[in-house]
Amino acid sequence: MYPELCAECGGRVEISTDAMVVEVRGDAVVTPGIEHGRCTVCGEEYLTLDGVERLQRAAIRRSKQVRGLLSPEEIKDVRLSLDLTQAEFERLLGVGPKTVVRWEKGTVYQSATADRLMRLIRTLPEVRCVLETVASGLQPVAPGTQGAATLP
């Protein structure tokens, strides 16, 4: 699983679950509990591919908590409350393909702007109609005005 000897210094590598520090969007995030190999001499750390994925998800989750962003489960709940597929939700929000997939898996997290937009949709589901109009290339009409949506 991990090398017996460190590739950097030749020291012995032991299994550890000590906290690891990961940089997420410029911030150092302390992420405890992820199994990894650590050199007893120089501290070099080794991860399996599964360990890398778990570390990434845990670091993103902790970073999102600190920033006060919606969790992957909350994002999925917003999408499902609108009865939308991931692709339809991406179109509604104006984000790229597979973005919502990554948000819901917890491998990537949303910007503060996207987070606020999802919170707005969750609080005021009627915002969906405005966003659908914009996504279709039409200009939404302000409430209380005459006429249908127009092209920009």
The predicted structure's pLDDT at residue 22: 93
Topology adopted by domain 13-67: Ubiquitin-like (UB roll) (3.10.20)
CATH 1.10.10.10 holds for 72-135: no
1/16 Cα distance (integer angstroms): 13
List, for residues 87-144, the tens digit of each pLDDT value: 999 999 999 999 999 999 988 889 999 999 999 999 998 999 999 998 888 776 666 6
Total-model pTM: 0.70
Same fold, 13-67 and 72-135: no
In sequence order, which residues have a C-beta less than 8 Å from that of residue 92 and are 6 or more positions away?
Answer: 82, 84, 128, 131, 132, 135
Nearest Cα neighbor of 89 from 61, 121, 65, 57 is 121
The predicted structure's pLDDT at residue 144: 60
What are φ and ψ of residue 29, in 5° steps?
Answer: -115, 125
Give the percent of the chain with pLDDT over 70. 91
Q: What is the largest CA-CA distance in the chain?
A: 77
The domain locations on the chain are 13-67, 72-135
